[in-house]
Amino acid sequence: MKLPLVFMTILATALMLNGCQRQKTEQSAEHAAPETNEPAVAEAESNEPAMAESSAAQHASVMPVTIEGLTFDAPETVPSGWTTIRLTNNSGMVHFAVVERLPEGITIKEQQKQAAPPFQQGMDLLNKGEDEAAQKKFGELPDWFQQMVYTGGPGLTSGGHHSQTTLYLEPGNYLLECYVKTDGVFHSYNPDPNSYGMVHAFTVTDDASGADEPAASIELTISSDNGIDAPEQVAAGEQTVAVHFADQTLHENFAGHDVHLARLDENTDLQVLDNWMDWRRPEGLQTPAPVTFLGGSNEMPAGKTAYFTVTLKPGRYAWISEVPGPHEKGMLKTFEVTDSNSE
């Protein structure tokens, strides 16, 4: 995931964003092919946060993020502390919102002008099978790119669905980025140099929200050695999953591991899903997705924890990481959601 993040950086300044994003939306319609296998909005109830009651006792600081087309609509400033990002995906395709902390002096402009283009040009080469030239192109990424810190955020969320992820935000300058691809083009890259891709800049202020850390009903741990460790059976209904990042590492796709939730059906081919998680493949992270994604947590540094709240109906699901070969790494784990009344 890391590579495409760069794209977002450039987009940053809030005021500029609003103006630019509007242009971007119109333009993006061109490179956003309509999806054919995305679930209809009516089907989205499975991950609707029914949190009004459960969260009532706790104080939450909410950052609403709405996706229309290839545009994030989100606040430009949020207080620091525990922050609940509520993602509403009104588009017809799958997206995510990875939160990236920018290095000192770097803005959305640098991200879009210096990082997004090498990623896209490298991807164009990968699509042509020119792997060596692609690696060279990725080598053109600016030094500051290595200093961006990926700090979580809502995982892959299919069109017409909502997802909710809570994380602790320190004061600083950040981006939200989506680098899912459509027609081989990263959402965070806009071929028009005067417009931004799917990136949103925001500032976390010194003001502390004082929001509470959520209470988890399920514990999940991800690590390089043991992959994803989570319960194999989960009761239907609202669950808040604590996603613990025991460690972090750079995988072959220049990204760290993260955790996404997929709802499977009887036709799901797990090998197709496995391949889809590697953005370097022409078919990787390319819309439409082979499953319905319900959110999760993008990668975080070692020792961090995110909380992902979801309402589950009975069925078969998988936790999966956006890394090459997740099954082999223990980062594709299927599990069952059972009717809580039948137990």
Residues that bind Cu ion (CB under 5 A): 95, 178, 180, 187, 198
Amino acid code (one letter) for 148 = M
Closest listed residue to residue 45, CA positions, set 338, 315, 262, 311 = 311
Tell me whether residue 88 or residue 311 sits nearer to Cu ion (CB atom).
88
C-beta of 96: minimal distance to Cu ion in Å?
A: 7
Tell me whether residue 41 or residue 302 sits nearer to Cu ion (CB atom).
41
C-beta of 302: minimal distance to Cu ion in Å?
A: 27
User: Is the CA virtual torsion 30, 179, 325, 333 positive or negative?
Assistant: negative
Tell me whether residue 180 or residue 264 sits nearer to Cu ion (CB atom).
180
- 185: tokens are 């083009």
Place of tokens 């961006």: 148
- 57: tokens are 């006792």
C-beta of 266: minimal distance to Cu ion in Å?
A: 28
Tell me whether residue 187 or residue 333 sits nearer to Cu ion (CB atom).
187
38 vs 91: CA distance, rounded Å: 10
C-beta of 323: minimal distance to Cu ion in Å?
A: 18
C-beta of 287: minimal distance to Cu ion in Å?
A: 8
C-beta of 68: minimal distance to Cu ion in Å?
A: 11
Place of tokens 């395709």: 93
CA angle 41, 46, 52 (to 5 degrees): 105
Tell me whether residue 157 or residue 311 sits nearer to Cu ion (CB atom).
157
47 vs 59: CA distance, rounded Å: 21
Tell me whether residue 10 or residue 198 sits nearer to Cu ion (CB atom).
198
271 vs 137: CA distance, rounded Å: 29
